[in-house]
């Protein structure tokens, strides 16, 4: 750094110079103040009139505090927590212990106490002094329970809560199993069961299911007070199996009878289901000569064996009348159903019969008639299933079975009015993974 510049930076003023600078600074800083004073000095003088305040007194009637307090009610609410009892939940509502005991002595509340569910609400109405007037309990299922305090007793009644039905649309694809796919898509088991049952006349879910198959469903869910309470009906569905698409829509005729049809109005319900079990595997095929696994020699196998755990439900494959239900030789426990046009079906090796299954009983396609077992000559639990026409056995997996008649022409307009929108939505759903509410 140059010496001259260093001297300038380190220069120290003398005492006289400091005094001069201070006087100069004071003089300069006083100039704005004088300007302000001058400005005020030039302002015109103003005259104000004295205002005399006047006090006005007026009597105001005030309500009696006790009367005001007693004229209202208090609403309290709590949400049932995990591990709660009815008594502990009521305690949070500041209800007297004696009142709680009287409530629990009410039959409806006592029954509710064994069936409470976390997340449900309890609402109490009390007087300001804590007297209980009424209390509302949200049930796990069913309408809200209202308990009214009348005199010295409590009266329980069901509330007429409005149930709202909402439409849900979901799609998914098969990775390994149908129920694994529907679980991943958030589809209730009730809807998955109905989808499997509805498409079972065209798709064998034991043998035909392929990785990459896709499906879409439209169904209803019932809500009360904004919360889902039950699954409703399957309204429409599509299943694409090995590249081939199958569609169904629900139709309700003028008499209220519901059935599933293709969008073109063809009945999906065939005369017979291909299998009496929802899910199983074929362990032995129909054969004119088969080495019997127990007897040890060749003989005709007049039906198909489906392997399944003991207790698996067995369904009637078609509308029929029970011809026989009892024990018969190597069949063990056996049900024989007599259908129209000379058709009969046999269900053997059963562990038990469904309630009410006896000779002469009418059954509909899909009704549960019995349960898989290993009675008679059997190496393990399975169902032996036969189809006979005029007494002669045929291969159940390949025999041509009668179908159901198509929709009557007179119902076409009603059918299209009900189902056209569902068919359009199925087209939009294909290939998507979504959950939507209408």
Inside any domain, residue 399: no
* 264, 323: one domain: no
* 168, 149: one domain: no
Query: Which residue range forms the structural domain that includes residue 194?
Result: 164-269+430-437
Interacting residues of 106 by C-beta distance below 8 A, sequence separation 6+: 147, 154, 156
* 115, 205: one domain: no
Inside any domain, residue 58: no
Inside any domain, residue 99: yes
* 168, 152: one domain: no
Report pLDDT for 8. Answer: 34
Please, are residues 216 and 169 in contact by the beta-carbon 8 Å criterion? yes
CA torsion, ordered 205, 210, 212, 215, to nearest 10 deg:
-20
Please, are residues 248 and 237 in contact by the beta-carbon 8 Å criterion? yes
How many Cα atoms are found within 13 Å in the side-chain-facing hemisphere of 250? 18
Nearest of 311, 260, 308, 280 to residue 209 by alpha carbon: 280
Please, are residues 280 and 233 in contact by the beta-carbon 8 Å criterion? no
Inside any domain, residue 128: yes
Divide the 438 residues of the chain into consecutive groups of 10 and give the mean pLDDT of each group.
Answer: 39 43 45 40 48 67 51 80 84 81 80 75 81 80 77 74 85 92 93 90 83 95 80 94 93 84 85 82 73 59 90 93 95 95 95 96 92 92 94 90 78 91 86 47
* 232, 137: one domain: no
Please, are residues 370 and 350 in contact by the beta-carbon 8 Å criterion? yes
* DSSP secondary structure letter of residue 122: E
Inside any domain, residue 24: no
Interacting residues of 307 by C-beta distance below 8 A, sequence separation 6+: 280, 281, 282, 283, 380, 381, 382
Inside any domain, residue 25: no
Interacting residues of 240 by C-beta distance below 8 A, sequence separation 6+: 213, 214, 215, 246, 430
CATH code of the domain containing 229: 3.10.450.350
Inside any domain, residue 147: yes
State the total domains in the chain.
Answer: 3
Nearest of 397, 196, 363, 360 to residue 284 by alpha carbon: 397
């Amino acid at each position: 750094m140059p010496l001259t510049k260093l001297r300038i930076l380190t220069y120290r003023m003398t005492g006289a110079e400091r005094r001069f600078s201070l006087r100069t600074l004071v003089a300069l800083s006083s100039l704005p103040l004088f300007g302000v004073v001058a400005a005020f000095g030039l302002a015109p003088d103003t005259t104000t009139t004295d205002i005399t305040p006047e006090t006005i007194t007026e009597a105001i009637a005030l309500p009696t505090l006790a009367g005001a307090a007693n004229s209202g009610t208090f609403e309290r609410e709590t949400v049932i927590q995990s591990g709660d009892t009815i008594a502990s939940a009521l305690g949070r509502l500041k209800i007297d212990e004696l009142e709680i005991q009287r409530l629990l002595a009410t039959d409806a509340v006592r029954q509710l106490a064994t069936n409470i569910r976390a997340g449900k609400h309890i609402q109490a109405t009390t007087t300001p002094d804590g007297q209980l007037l009424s209390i509302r309990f949200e049930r796990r299922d069913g309408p809200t329970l209202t308990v009214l305090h009348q005199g010295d007793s409590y009266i329980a009644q069901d509330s007429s809560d409005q149930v709202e039905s909402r439409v849900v649309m979901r799609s998914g694809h098969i990775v390994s199993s149908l129920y694994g796919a529907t679980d991943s898509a958030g589809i209730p088991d009730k809807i998955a069961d109905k989808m499997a049952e509805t498409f079972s006349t065209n798709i064998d879910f034991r043998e035909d299911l392929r990785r990459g198959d896709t499906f879409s469903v439209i169904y209803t869910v019932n809500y009360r007070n904004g919360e889902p309470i039950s699954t409703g009906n399957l309204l429409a569905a599509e299943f694409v199996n090995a590249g081939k698409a199958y569609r169904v829509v629900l139709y309700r005729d003028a008499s209220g009878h519901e059935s599933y049809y293709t969008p073109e109005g063809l009945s999906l319900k065939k005369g017979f289901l291909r299998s009496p079990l929802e899910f199983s595997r074929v362990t032995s095929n129909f054969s004119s000569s088969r080495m019997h696994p127990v007897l040890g020699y060749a003989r005709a196998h007049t039906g198909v064996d489906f392997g399944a755990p003991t207790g698996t439900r067995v369904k009637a494959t078609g509308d029929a009348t029970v011809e026989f239900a009892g024990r018969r030789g190597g069949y063990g426990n056996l049900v024989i159903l007599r259908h129209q046009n000379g058709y009969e079906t046999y269900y053997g090796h059963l562990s038990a019969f469904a309630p009410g299954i006896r000779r002469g009983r009418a059954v509909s396609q899909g009704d549960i008639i019995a349960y898989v077992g290993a009675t008679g000559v059997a190496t393990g639990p399975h169902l032996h299933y036969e189809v006979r026409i005029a007494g002669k056995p045929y291969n159940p997996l390949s025999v041509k079975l009668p179908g159901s008649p198509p929709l009557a022409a007179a119902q076409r307009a009603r059918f299209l009015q009900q189902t056209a929108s569902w068919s359009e939505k199925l087209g939009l759903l294909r290939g998507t993974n979504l959950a939507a509410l209408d």
